[in-house]
Amino acid sequence: MRYDKTIHTFKSYNRLYDISYYIYRPTIAPVAVLQISHGMCEYIERYEHFIHFLTSAGVVVTGHDHAGHGFSINKKKDLGYFSNDPFDSTLVEDLKTMSVITKKTFPELPHFLLGHSMGSFILRNYLSTYGNDLDGVIISGTGGENKAAGAGILLAKILAKVKGDRHRSPFLNKIFFNGFTDHFKDENETFAWLSRDKRIINTYKKDPRCNFIFTLNGFMGLLRIMTTVTKKSYAQKMPKNIPYFLFSGKEDPVGNYGKGVIETYQGLKKAGLRDVTYKLYDNGRHEMLNELNKEEVYADVLNYMMKFVKKSRVN
């Protein structure tokens, strides 16, 4: 272990949960801090292999388990349940709280924020209001416009009126993920879309904090955020003077096999964002930080950050 790990809590924006958050301090002099906004049906401690790599290079890592995820729950039934109002600002405001904590704890360090998958959509929402407080943005496993998202929200609302918003619908879950699994149906593995690494998939399946069906409440909240941030006009609201790095696998269905990532990149450039780059990894799937070539991805993320750390030192 090359870090000192501490676990803390803060009250969620919706007051429902004590949000668990984590600080990983390197045992060498720190040079930067990376805050992580994790994805759907996972939690920060899944990133500890990546965190070990970063702290070995002097990068502090912070992050929280989103509301209804990981250890930011009161009971198991809260997994995949965001807030009593699924359309409120809890996910974005909790990300802001974590950002403020990070800034106050490490005011002298360049502050980068990485969002993966669901966490990338939350991050993109966050950037429209609070993004200017960051030194750099890293977007992993994101996607472009999803024209079916509106219909998904409507279906979830209808089901919630009948079943209640804590209901977990295998039907809606199948619709949401069907396109992801179809591409890899020859592998006969529900989670093949996540990674080519079978060990990652097996661990994920056995983890009750990962392998669960979202509540209708969770689907409504997530789909609303996705609908909002993937509108072509939305990029105009994002900070134009900070650097962005987007990465994804070419076989990631969330990013429409690279097309959605390129669409997002082009939208950011068209909106006038000055420093945007992207990388698509051959054969890579959704979780590039858990892929067979993860060390390559780790190095790319670190090199991206260090480029701007060196610039800030010169200036």
Q: Print the SS3 string covering the chain.
A: CCEEEEEEEEECCCCCCEEEEEEEEECCCCCEEEEEECCCCCCHHHHHHHHHHHHHCCEEEEEECCCCCCCCCCCHHHCCCCCCCCCCCHHHHHHHHHHHHHHHHCCCCCEEEEEECHHHHHHHHHHHHHHHHCCEEEEECCCCCCCCHHHHHHHHHHHHHHHCCCCCCHHHHHHHHHHHHHCCHHHCCCCCCCCCCHHHHHHHHHCCCCCCCCCHHHHHHHHHHHHHHCCHHHHHHCCCCCCEEEEEECCCCCCCCCHHHHHHHHHHHHCCCCCEEEEEECCCCCCHHHCCCHHHHHHHHHHHHHHHHHHHHHC
The arithmetic mean of pLDDT across residues 77-104, rounded, is: 97
pLDDT on residue 314:
52
Write out the two tokens for 156. 């979830």
The arithmetic mean of pLDDT across residues 56-61, rounded, is: 98
pTM for the predicted model, two decimal places: 0.96
pLDDT on residue 181:
86
The arithmetic mean of pLDDT across residues 150-169, rounded, is: 96
CB 274 within 8 A of CB 268: no
Topology of the domain comprising 3-314: Rossmann fold (3.40.50)
Residue 232: pLDDT band (50, 70, 90) is: confident
Tell me the C-alpha distance between 248 and 258, whole Å. 7
- Whether the pLDDT of residue 22 is over 80: the answer is yes
- Residue 210's nearest CA partner among 46, 77, 7, 35 is 46
- Residue 222's nearest CA partner among 153, 133, 291 is 153
Arithmetic mean of pLDDT over the chain: 96
- Whether the pLDDT of residue 315 is over 70: the answer is no
| Domain residue spans of the chain | 3-314
Residue 185: pLDDT band (50, 70, 90) is: confident
pLDDT on residue 81:
98
pLDDT on residue 312:
64
- Whether the pLDDT of residue 179 is over 90: the answer is no
